[in-house]
Amino acid sequence: MYLWVKALHIIFLVTWFAGLFYLPRLYVYHSMPEHKGAYQLFKVMERRLFIMMTIGGVLTAVFGIWLISLNTSVFAGGWFHAKLLFLALLIAYHIWCYRIMVTFRHDQNTRSHKWYRMFNEAPSFLLIVIVVLVVTKPF
């Protein structure tokens, strides 16, 4: 049972991260004045992608909590507490993505595409740190 739950956790993690990688990329394009004619299309794409991303995030959490219930010994590792910290940052990033989407929806964006290019890098860093913590369990 544990391995099936773990597999589903990883599958939905991939789904969640697909959205976390692509949604900010849409913000890059949406913030460029030369794409003004596509702004309405970007709004639809962003909303749909955010829904898919949120479903992936919620199911990642559901299967993650299930994994913890099947193996409570993970609480003993300091790596797990560090992972939870970076997970909290990831959830904050997800919420920030939502707030940005609402800003675009109301045509109130004030940030440049260069800012969104930098913003787009955060989930890569978080993914690397979380995977390294889970695989190596350094402490």
Q: Which DSSP category does 37 fall into?
A: G
Beta carbons of 22 and 49 less than 8 angstroms apart = yes
**How far is Cα 108 from Cα 28, in angstroms, rounded to an integer?**
15
Q: Which DSSP category does 40 fall into?
A: H
**What phi, psi does 120 have (nearest 5°)?**
-65, -15
**Residue 83 annotated as binding?**
yes
Beta carbons of 24 and 116 less than 8 angstroms apart = yes
Residues 6+ apart with CB under 8 A from 32: 113
Q: Which segments are annotated as binding site for heme?
A: 9, 83
Q: Which segments are annotated as binding site?
A: 9, 83
